[in-house]
Amino acid sequence: MSVNVESLKAFCVSLPKIELHAHINGSISHETIAKLRERKRETKPHLADYKIPENSLDDIADFFPLFKLIYQLTDDIEAIKLITKDVIDEFAHDGIKYLELRSTPRKYDDTNLKTKEDYVRTVLSVINEPRDDIIVKLIISVDRRNTLDEAMEAVDLAIKYQNHGVVAVDLCGDVHAGTFDTLKPAFLKAQQYGLKVTLHFCEVPENLPEAPSLLAIGPNRLGHATLLDEACRKHIYEHKIPIEICMTSNVLSKTVPTYEEHHLKELLATGQPFCICTDDKGVFRADLSDEYVQAAKAFSMTNTQLYEACFQAIDSIFADDSIKDQLRTQWQKWFDSNTKYF
């Protein structure tokens, strides 16, 4: 099928969309990186020419070290405010109406970002700025490299700020590092306090042995779920656990060979719940509208199917039912006034 990519892209931008899997520090655009470099010109001259390298990954293992430099640019309160604001503005500009950002709290002795609580409060101060074009919530990430004490600290912050925009906790980080079982008590505590849980799941085959332990806690969503064995597939499908799909991230980090071979195909065919997401739109240089374009091209999705993909994702958000209802009304209104596309 030949597709007019320009009009497909315009449609995908105009489509009201939901983003549920976006790491703040991986989502920083090149324009914002330039602003960050400028801020640090005197204190960190070695970063004066820093750019996020393009198409540089031979393997997903090459991805995680990128943050050693990105974090040097985002190590103070003003930088965290700047990146959070710019990332939200960029998502809003791309037609996202509901956004769950996620981030791993950090602290530094030699900047004004003295505690992980400072980090969370700073991100929330921006997320909670009133605006009428987008709703934003926060998921607090626990890094696989964390000790249990560090994971508990992150979860305690999530609990403390649960009524101020935090909706869930996430397990993320270097897929070859750490073990879930070490961190599991922290996730169980989060659940006891009513927080939702999403877990990066089987991005690489080496994660399969711990998969039963991850599934046993009853996660509300899973990130990626790229390489499933039969037992995982059966569990996820029976429990209809929504999957956060990040196609460009998977293809560029080479955990999936091509868009056409992406496991979204199977979710579409079997009617499983999913949400198309960006993961790290700065590093992978693809907006959410681009991800919809890729899905449409790879799986010959019609405009109606793309709209339905966005609409069904509302069921998987972590905000409460009143927000879900509000979004469904907003989507329906958009649909009614955009019949030209269908």
Q: Which positions ≥6 away from 203 have C-beta within 8 Å? A: 60, 175, 223, 224, 226, 227, 250, 253, 255
Q: How far is the CB of 222 from ligand 6MZ (least distance, A)?
A: 12
Q: How far is the CB of 250 from ligand 6MZ (least distance, A)?
A: 8
Q: How far is the CB of 75 from ligand 6MZ (least distance, A)?
A: 11
Q: Alpha-carbon distance 316 to 287, whole Å?
A: 20
Residues with catalytic roles: 203
217: closest CA among 180, 243, 257?
180
Between 184 and 224, CB nearer to ligand 6MZ: 224
Are the CB atoms for 272 and 233 separated by under 8 Å?
no
Q: Minimum CB separation from ligand 6MZ for residue 98, in Å?
A: 19
Tokens linked to 188: 């169980």
DSSP 204-220: SGGGGGGHHHHHHT--S
Q: Which residue's CB is nearer to ligand 6MZ, number 249 or number 272?
A: 249
What the block records as the tokens of 254 is 């080479």
Task: Give 137 or 200: the residue with its C-beta nearer to ligand 6MZ.
Answer: 200
Q: How far is the CB of 67 from ligand 6MZ (least distance, A)?
A: 4
Give the number of C-alpha atoms closer than 13 A to the C-alpha of residue 188, restricted to the C-beta side: 10
Tokens 């955990």 identify what position?
A: 255
The residue (of 9 and 89) whose beta carbon lies closer to ligand 6MZ is 89
Distance CA 304, CA 73 (A): 42
Token code pair at residue 155: 């979860």
Residues that bind ligand 6MZ (CB under 6 A): 23-26, 63, 67, 103-104, 141, 143, 172-173, 175, 200, 203, 249, 253, 279-280
3-state secondary structure of 103: strand
- Nearest to ligand 6MZ of 94, 280 (CB atom): 280
